[in-house]
Structure 1
Amino acid sequence: MLQQRLDRIRNITPAVLPSLLQCDFGDLRGELERLTKAGVEGLHLDVMDGHFVPNLSYGMPIVAGLRRWTDMPLDVHLMISDPAAYIDAFADAGADMLTFHIEAVENPLAIIDQIHRHGIVAGVAINPDTPMDRLDGCVEATDAVLVMSVKAGFGGQAFRPEAIERLKSLREAYPDLLLEVDGGIKEETIGDCRQAGCDLFVVGSAIFGQSDYQTAVSRLRDLL
């Protein structure tokens, strides 16, 4: 199951992943239909606990609800203090990929193993102010690294260009690693991230802030 999920995600790269944090939750099924018509091939779900980050979002019921209505890969980003306590529940809800923050855990290898036991793709996220050496010892065990180009917690922040160098260094060191970027991804930044070796691009307002999702997604894809 893990290899099937990993292969499926690899096969859609480079991919634009809409961040549902900025969608209209009063019309979630309608938003899903619009995104599907726009041709997106995966969805990014930001889970926030009000503790690891100073914001609250949603949990397992949203993942489970989306799983009932789409077979697209669901990339679940756990911006929470205790990911180990919730991995099993998010696996049951239908996540295809679970990403936790290196800053939130003492033993990332144990979290990666817990995710893999469910046959789910494992990702490790790192905030822009966190030294890259925090990833030492766990990159070889994980399937993906999510480079945050803004501090985790809120949408609409400006892209931090040091993310480009982080992506480049990871790509040079780990040619087969899935690389993802999140924060401030729009027409002006997505191409540079792709040139740096990124595979998955989390996009919020550059899609949900536009009246025509299909045009917005097409423009972003053209830049990839």
Structure 2
Amino acid sequence: MTPPASRPLIVPSVLPADFANLGEACRQLEKAGADRIQWDIMDGRFVPNLTFGPDTVASCRPLVELPFEAHLMVDDPDRLLPRWVDAGCATIIVHAEAATHLHRTLQTVRGLGVRAGVAINPATPLSLVEHVIDLVDLLLIMTVNPGFGGQAYLASQERKIAAARGLLDAAAPERNIELEVDGGITTETIDGAAQAGARTFCAGSALFRAPRGLESAVAELRRRAEEAIR
């Protein structure tokens, strides 16, 4: 498994893309310089929205070389874990709130030979994942409530991001566990998240709706993040 990089990573979500042209969206994101692609997997139960199944993800896998990550916003993440691996996802992120036995779920993900990530919602305390840090390669702090794209960034979560940075640095500094933020990331909000300690930034609407195109938008987000952490 490839260790996470310390430089800022831009991870586009394909949620705002044209669902009839997801393959082309992936190609354009790769051309634009994205670091990997996030698939927001929603089941209509854990969140009030329904998105992609593993067959959809698998159909796009041969089209690009970028790594895929599956962000499972689903009630029962364990049920289809092998399917997401078979679909070509190199990272699988589960929600702490949705896993009945979080430790076991993360063990299962790692046992499938991919990177394990855990996500927590805005109202969820960091303490919920404190005792599984030894099993994660990535910690995702939600900066919106999951379910829909285009929501406003919750700056209140920057205290949690900073606390997460401290937790990861103290618990396993040698592992360089990735700290990702997801929700409302734009050129106006990425500074605060970066200064708080995030180094991976999932963005959707800010990229696909950028008037100057994806390549310019990815470059500008990366530039703003780099400036914020100097």
- TM-score for the superposition, normalised by structure 2: 0.91
Q: How many residues align?
A: 218
Question: 1:208: which partner in 2?
Answer: 208
1:150-189 map, 5 Å: 150-175=144-169, 176-189=176-189
What amino acid sits opposite 1:60 in the alignment? P
- C-alpha contact 1:12 1:41 (8 A) present in aligned 2: no
Tell me the SS of whatever aligns to 2:15: helix
Instruction: Provide the rounded CA distance (Å) in 2 between the counterparts of 1:141 and 1:40.
Output: 26
> Would the aligned equivalents of 2:181 and 2:201 in 1 still touch at CA under 8 Å?
yes
| Structure 2: distance between partners of 1:28 and 1:141 | 32
Find 2:59's aligned residue among 65, 68, 89.
Answer: 65
Matched, 1:198 2:198: yes
Partner of 2:84: 90
State which of 109, 113, 124 in structure 2 corresponds to 1:115.
109
Equivalents in 1 of 2:103, 2:117: separation in Å?
A: 11
Matches within 5 A, 1:126-165: 126-165=120-159
Match in the other structure for 2:11: 17
TM-align CA RMSD: 1.3
Structure 1 14/120 Cα, relative in aligned 2: closer, same or farther at 3 Å? same
Q: In structure 1, the residue corresponding to 2:127 is in which secondary structure?
A: helix
Match for 1:213: what amino acid? L
For the residue of structure 2 that corresponds to 1:146, the secondary structure is strand
Structure 2 counterparts to residues 1-80 of structure 1, below 5 A? 4-5=1-2, 7=3, 10-11=4-5, 13-80=7-74
Deviation at 1:88, TM superposition (A): 0.8
Q: Whole-Å Cα distance in 2 between the matches of residues 12 and 165 of structure 1?
A: 21
Of residues 10-19 and 176-185 in structure 1, the stretch that sits farther from structure 2 once superposed is: 10-19
Say whether the 8 Å CA contact 2:27–2:64 is kept in structure 1: no
Deviation of residue 87 (structure 1)? 0.4
CA deviation map 1:103-154 (0-9, x unaligned): 1112111011110011110011000011222113112221111100111111
SS of equivalent to 1:138? helix
What's the offset of the Cα at 1:12? 7.4
**Distance of 1:135 and 1:40 partners within structure 2:** 28
